[in-house]
Amino acid sequence: MQDVYEDPDRLRRPLRRTTAGGWEEVSWEVALDEVAAGLRQVQGRHGDDAVAWYAGNPSVHNSGTQLAAPGFLRALGSRSLFSASSVDQLPHHFAAWQLYGHPLLLPVPDLDRTDFWLILGGNPLVSNGSLMSAPDVAKRLRAIRERGGRVVVIDPRRTETAARADEHHFIRPGTDVFLLLAMVQVLYAEKLVNPGRVGEFTDGIPELGAAVAGFTPESVAAVTGVAPAVVRALARELAAAKRAVVYGRIGVSTQEFGGLCLWLINALNLLTGHLDEPGGYMLPTPALDVLGKPGPYRRHARYHSRVRGLTEFMGELPVAALAEEILTPGEGQLLALVTSCGNPVLSTPNGRQLDTALAGLEFMVSIDIYLNETTRHAHYILPPATGLETAHYDVSFHALAIRNTSRYAEPLFDKGPDARYDWQIFEGLRQRLEAGPAYDPATAAPPDDPAAKIDLGLRYGPYGRPEHGGLNLDKLRENPHGIDLGALQPRLPAALRTENQRIPLAAPLFLADLERARQVLAAGPEAAPDQLLLIGRRELRSNNSWMHNLPRLLKGRNRCTLQISPPDAAARQLTEGQLVRVRSRVGEVQVPVEITEALMPGVASLPHGYGHQRPGTRLAVARAHPGASLNDLTDETRLDALTGNAALSAVPVWVVGAE
């Protein structure tokens, strides 16, 4: 964070594109006035939905953005909304909505009390627990083993987490759904189903058993590469363990059956009596409620994308459709875009296509601290104060914590008189859009400070009443290291948002999607003999593209390499460090090869977030270590048909030595 704060490339004042294609600094009042006017002009000519919105991953790591952006979006009035959620996590939300009634009712592993942790497609030693806020996962993993428990990892790569686990099994990318189906089938076939008290308010348990009857461990072995004996042993151990949990993350989300995978992970926890039980899969009780008003959640399939007819979910369209919605002429074409702290050219499928699309927009605005591969296309860049200059409350991540906690972080440094917080930028745009040409800064109300919203949320939350501790913002300020609110507690069925307060385990949308899985299983393994299946890779020093401009994180060896197994290297006559060409349906990159036994044969792995060779950016450190973009190879036509999430994993590629 010091490197971000001191980065000479970090933007500190608004930039406006000049007619000559360069950039000039302008004042905040001029920038906000002209941005609001530009958005109104596009919407006046082409309708509200002609302006799109994209929110990047850092948006949810900033309470100012998270609490102020919705007001701006209401004023914008467009339903052409996109975010990083459809790159990596929609299956989690979809399963939570279908089973528990709300997409934000997301169970997490109770790591401090579990005795058996099964991890699919996750690498929490590097991520610290994606969609699972868990400080020092290495310590917690070690504690599980020290108290006699076990950790098992299923992954096409022997990850940093797998290297410290008790057991690791390779699986062919994109086939986790079949492993999970087989595990569920074993539970029914061997009469191991025992949901415990959760069964009292769960419907569809017999129906699920009938639906999975044909997915035996033997029937899926050729596709998954996992031996039937391993599948049976995992199912039995999960059923026999007193305290156990199944957890899946990026690897199971970013494939063509992500929705089914997350449904089955929830089902495994439920059927073995580990849902909503200590040491199992539990719901946090955050101090600030993120669910909103009670009642059925209906933000699904209210509208569809124009070109491919992709389904809306959670008020968003799949980001895999963003480029085509810009590039395809006709009524409803996207002609303007607002981005918030995101770099979709490097982080969404077929980034080169999106790169081309952004270059043709009538109007583009980026709220971002960098002139990067995406924001270089903007007409205005509005850089907020960041990191050490901002106050912060983890609105989302306290709701995903493995222990109930609450903490408010004060700024370490003053932002300076000529800087704006992100919430001030959003509020300034909101006020101008709502007032239109009549906006007068002299009479405009002060922008809504998110600290006031946080305080109200705490006071009306589960710990806000005097008899429950009277939690408020003042108390958090008196406790700068945070307040421990205790271990996770059982919350079901009271927390359910389903219409009848019961869990519909055999939800019709999931059962219907099983037919698609049966067809793929019948067709057999996807890759041709000369192809490899490409997966991503998370590096501790480069979780996101913006971290590539931080000098201390870029030290040492080149981490942007294509990892492949020794047999695959030998078959292609490749040697360690050799430059190779990697080609998919949508593009080609060149990158050094790294030969390692950590990769399953038939698999290749490239980290995401690189590709900094594009012109027109101001990222001196990143440009010196450009690497290759994984998303110049991923395919926008590959997604989970059920949830709309991008299928970034298991992309077929060809790898040959570069001439």
pLDDT digits (tens, 9 = 90+) for 249-265: 999 999 999 999 999 99
Residue 300 DSSP symbol: E
Q: Could you write out the three-class secondary structure of 189-252?
A: HCCCCCCHHHHHHEECHHHHHHHCCCCCHHHHHHHHCCCHHHHHHHHHHHHHCCCEEEEECHHH
Give the integer Cα–Cα distance in Å for 597 and 605: 12
| Bond prior to 626 in cis (omega within 30° of 0) | no
Nearest-10 Cα torsion for 157, 158, 161, 166: 130
Residue 645's nearest CA partner among 149, 82, 175 is 82
The terminus-to-terminus CA distance of the chain in angstroms comes to 41
Range of the domain at 173: 107-284+492-517
Q: In what order do the strands lie in the sheet with 150-154?
A: 167-169, 150-154, 116-120, 244-248
In contact, 51 and 77? CB cutoff 8 Å: no
The band of 292, judged by pLDDT with boundaries at 50, 70 and 90, is: confident
Across the range 295-305, mean pLDDT stands at 95
Give the chain's mean pLDDT: 96
pLDDT value at 393 more than 90: yes
Q: Tell me, yes or no, whether 337 lies in a domain.
A: no
In contact, 351 and 636? CB cutoff 8 Å: no
Give the integer Cα–Cα distance in Å for 366 and 377: 9
Shared domain check, 130 and 211: yes
Q: Tell me, yes or no, whether 58 lies in a domain.
A: no
Give the integer Cα–Cα distance in Å for 607 and 36: 37
In contact, 78 and 49? CB cutoff 8 Å: yes
Judged on CB neighbours under 10 Å (0-12, 13-18, 19+), 251 is: buried
pLDDT value at 659 more than 80: no
Specify the pLDDT at position 388.
95
Phi, psi of 539 (to 5 degrees): -105, 140
How many beta carbons lie within 10 A of that of residue 478, not counting itself? 9
Shared domain check, 546 and 607: yes
Least confident of 185-194, 532-541, 583-592: 532-541
Shared domain check, 208 and 190: yes
- Residue 154, beta-bridge partner list: 120, 169
**What would the pLDDT profile of 75-88 be if each residue is shown by its tens digit?**
999 999 999 999 99
Specify the pLDDT at position 182.
98
In contact, 155 and 167? CB cutoff 8 Å: no
Specify the pLDDT at position 539.
85
How many beta carbons lie within 10 A of that of residue 95, not counting itself? 28
Residue 607's nearest CA partner among 505, 554, 535, 550 is 535
The number of C-alpha atoms within 13 Å of 281 and in the hemisphere containing its C-beta is 26
Percent of the chain with pLDDT strictly greater than 70? 100
Specify the pLDDT at position 545.
84
- Residue 579, beta-bridge partner list: 592
Shared domain check, 124 and 225: yes
Specify the pLDDT at position 546.
81
CATH of the domain at 640: 2.40.40.20
pLDDT value at 527 more than 80: no
Q: Tell me, yes or no, whether 374 lies in a domain.
A: no
Least confident of 271-280, 482-491, 547-556: 547-556
pLDDT value at 38 more than 90: yes
Shared domain check, 178 and 113: yes
Which amino acid, one-letter code, is at 528?
A
Q: Tell me, yes or no, whether 401 lies in a domain.
A: no
**What would the pLDDT profile of 412-470 be if each residue is shown by its tens digit?**
999 999 999 999 999 999 999 999 999 999 999 999 899 999 999 999 999 999 888 89
Shared domain check, 619 and 501: no
CATH of the domain at 499: 3.40.228.10
Give the count of domains, the chain: 2
Read off the pTM. Answer: 0.98
Residue 2 DSSP symbol: H
Q: Tell me, yes or no, whether 345 lies in a domain.
A: no
Beta-carbon contacts of 183 under 8 Å, excluding residues fewer than 6 positions away, are 231, 234, 235, 238, 264, 268
In contact, 34 and 319? CB cutoff 8 Å: no
The band of 246, judged by pLDDT with boundaries at 50, 70 and 90, is: very high
Give the integer Cα–Cα distance in Å for 255 and 265: 15
**Domain limit, last residue, from 482, 517, 552:** 517
In contact, 192 and 235? CB cutoff 8 Å: yes
How many beta carbons lie within 10 A of that of residue 582, not counting itself? 25
Specify the pLDDT at position 295.
85
Specify the pLDDT at position 538.
86
Specify the pLDDT at position 24.
98
Q: Can you read off the two tokens belonging to residue 516?
A: 């698609």
- In angstroms, what is the C-alpha Rg of the chain? 25
Judged on CB neighbours under 10 Å (0-12, 13-18, 19+), 74 is: exposed
Specify the pLDDT at position 497.
97
Question: Which residue would you say has higher pLDDT here, 527 or 352?
Answer: 352
Dihedral sign computed on CA atoms, order 327, 333, 336, 341: negative
pLDDT value at 526 more than 80: no
**What would the pLDDT profile of 67-77 be if each residue is shown by its tens digit?**
999 999 999 99
Shared domain check, 245 and 119: yes
pLDDT value at 198 more than 80: yes
The band of 179, judged by pLDDT with boundaries at 50, 70 and 90, is: very high
**Alpha-helical regions (H) of 272-343:** 322-327
Q: To which residue do tokens 């001196």 refer? A: 620
Across the range 625-639, mean pLDDT stands at 97
Query: CA 262, 266, 269: angle at the middle one, nearest 5?
Result: 140
Query: CA 261, 262, 265: angle at the middle one, nearest 5?
Result: 90
Shared domain check, 504 and 653: no
The number of C-alpha atoms within 13 Å of 548 and in the hemisphere containing its C-beta is 30
Q: Can you read off the two tokens belonging to residue 323?
A: 């480029």
Specify the pLDDT at position 93.
98
pLDDT value at 129 more than 90: no
What is the DSSP code string of 408-436? EEPPSS---TT---HHHHHHHHHHHHHHG
**Alpha-helical regions (H) of 387-501:** 422-435, 450-459, 473-478
Query: Across the chain, how many H-helices and E-strands are there?
Result: 23, 27
In contact, 360 and 379? CB cutoff 8 Å: no
In contact, 642 and 632? CB cutoff 8 Å: no
Which amino acid, one-letter code, is at 294?
P
Residue 159 DSSP symbol: -
Q: Tell me, yes or no, whether 36 lies in a domain.
A: no
Shared domain check, 513 and 645: no
Which amino acid, one-letter code, is at 486?
G
Percent of the chain with pLDDT strictly greater than 90? 92
Give the integer Cα–Cα distance in Å for 108 and 67: 24
Specify the pLDDT at position 544.
81
Judged on CB neighbours under 10 Å (0-12, 13-18, 19+), 327 is: middle
Shared domain check, 499 and 540: no
Shared domain check, 550 and 513: no
Shared domain check, 278 and 134: yes
Q: Tell me, yes or no, whether 14 lies in a domain.
A: no
Q: Tell me, yes or no, whether 48 lies in a domain.
A: no
Q: Can you read off the two tokens belonging to residue 89?
A: 């996590």
